[in-house]
Amino acid sequence: MPTPIAVNPLEALAAVTGKIKQGTVEWIDLESAAGRYLAEPLHGASRSAGQPADPPGILRSSCDGYALPDGCGAGDRLSLREELADLAAHGDRQIPSGSAIRVETGALLPGKTWGILPAEDGTLLGAGKLRIERLPQAGEGILGRDDGKPVVFEAGTLLSTRHQAYLLAAGVEKVCVHSPPRVGMLLLGDELTDLKTDLEAGQVHDLNGYWLRDAIEALGLEVISLGISEDGPTGLQKHLVRCHTRQLDVLILSGGTGSGLTDRTAEAIQELNGNVLFEKLSLHGCDSLVFGKLNNMDVLGLSGRPLSCSAAFDLFCRPLLLARSGASKGYWNWASMTYLDEILTPPPPLDNRPEDWCLRVGKLSGHSAEALIQATVKTWNPETLFSPVAAGSEGWVLRPPEPEGKPVFFVRQQ
């Protein structure tokens, strides 16, 4: 039997997110696009516009205070004009010298307003007079003065309801987005049974299936559940054929990736003329991971062990699904940042396999006030492989091979 194709975690991340087929591009109503990812850059309002619908040249106040004319100085006493509307009624485009106008956040301003004096930087003297205690900079507190360049939302941006609110106010009606992938989920193992049932001889509770569906749906994706299949290539091949007929884009498996006699996911993919990119991970504590392609469908096999399944979802499954959904790297590329390792317990021995990475758990340490100091993560070994969570941890720590003191990668548990 040939040696299984093994990759390190960085190679695995590159494989599951590289050369993927993203969903078709479609123009849809903005109001129905929440949770989708932009397929091309989208221009919004001017970068400094007071409100999204404001055309160029409209000025607004960014704070509560007083609109000032040119030529003011600290200590000056100004006469307060009653209303901006009064100024507009007389056709004035600038505030008269020696005057100021009380404004609130978002208020329209005359076109030649010099700056906004924040309310706390002025003293009301009575009889409609104001004294300037601290003079603002020219243009301070004024929105709408810039080069007219618009806000740009890059391709791969997630359209949240906050984005929708802004874009609707800016007059955007339709957006160009990627269609989400069709995702199937299949659990492998004759011994699996529902968490709510009493165990019989030879049975184990299905911990992975209980949370895996919700974790995928939390990414805004619909999950087609294929249930529980018996181990071995025959049963899996039957389901793989069903996946093709249902036109799935991604199939997520749990189980069938270990070294047992019936753990033959890679073999089943190959026997159906699929391509297996790797079937082993050089990661102590999470070494069972299979990734292949079958008829344009990505097949990712996670371990049946609860801890390994949970870690592999956050490390590889989530990036795969987000990349296929059209998300930019900022949403899933954990390899772009490293952390200093504050070791709380020694890493486990690697049984003469110094080239292997090590999976640990951890949480971020206190941040330094120095922006240039690398963040630190406190790390320790998980207590058991049969729980999808580790008490007290915030996520997964990937510790590269020696030498000691090398930076580590940290991925939050989702």
CATH code, domain carrying 133: 2.170.190.11
Structure tokens belonging to residue 379: 């790390």
User: Would you list the DSSP string of 164-201?
Assistant: HHHHHHTT--EEEEEPPPPEEEEEE-TTEE-TTSPP-T
Question: Nearest CA to 287 among 235, 351, 216, 197?
Answer: 351
398 has which bridge partners?
359, 409
- pLDDT tens for residues 235-286? 777 777 777 778 899 999 987 665 554 557 788 888 888 898 998 999 998 8
Confidence band for 402, pLDDT divided at 50, 70 and 90: confident
Please state the rounded mean pLDDT for residues 19-39: 92
Domain boundary among 289, 314, 333: 333
Domains held by the chain: number: 4
Residues 193, 319 share a domain: yes
Confidence band for 1, pLDDT divided at 50, 70 and 90: very low
Domain boundary among 333, 348, 378: 333
Domain region containing 385: 335-412
CA distances from 399 to 285, 291, 344, 360 (A): 11, 22, 14, 7
Instruction: Identify the CATH number of the domain in which residue 214 sits.
Output: 3.40.980.10
Query: Is residue 378 one of the residues assigned to a domain?
Result: yes
Residues 156, 204 share a domain: no
- Residue 391 burial by CB count (10 A; 0-12/13-18/19+): exposed, middle or buried? exposed
Domain boundary among 157, 178, 199: 178
Residues 320, 227 share a domain: yes
Residues 152, 207 share a domain: no
Cα–Cα–Cα angle for 227, 231, 237, rounded to 5 degrees: 75
Residues 320, 209 share a domain: yes
Query: Is residue 314 one of the residues assigned to a domain?
Result: yes
Query: Is residue 306 one of the residues assigned to a domain?
Result: yes
Residues 165, 136 share a domain: no
Residues 187, 313 share a domain: yes
- Please list, in sequence order, all residues whose beta carbon lies within 8 angstroms of the beta carbon of residue 276, skipping any fewer than 6 positions away: 5, 266, 269, 270, 290, 291, 292
Query: Is residue 215 one of the residues assigned to a domain?
Result: yes
- The model's pTM is 0.83
- Please list, in sequence order, all residues whose beta carbon lies within 8 angstroms of the beta carbon of residue 412, skipping any fewer than 6 positions away: 314, 394, 395
- Residue 211 burial by CB count (10 A; 0-12/13-18/19+): exposed, middle or buried? middle
Query: Is residue 10 one of the residues assigned to a domain?
Result: yes
Query: Is residue 376 one of the residues assigned to a domain?
Result: yes
Residues 236, 327 share a domain: yes
Higher pLDDT, 240 or 173: 173
Mean pLDDT over all residues of the chain?
84
**Which of 202-216, 292-306, 321-335, 342-356 reaches the highest mean pLDDT?**
321-335
| 80-89, 313-322, 399-408: least confident range | 80-89
Question: Nearest CA to 59 among 116, 107, 119?
Answer: 107
Residues 351, 316 share a domain: no
Residues 200, 286 share a domain: yes
Query: Is residue 277 one of the residues assigned to a domain?
Result: yes
Contact 69, 99 (CB under 8 A): yes
| 141-155, 336-350, 387-401: least confident range | 141-155
Its sign, for the CA torsion 79, 80, 86, 88, is: positive
Query: Is residue 35 one of the residues assigned to a domain?
Result: no
Please state the rounded mean pLDDT for residues 150-157: 89
Residues 162, 232 share a domain: no
Residues 298, 231 share a domain: yes
pLDDT of residue 333: 97
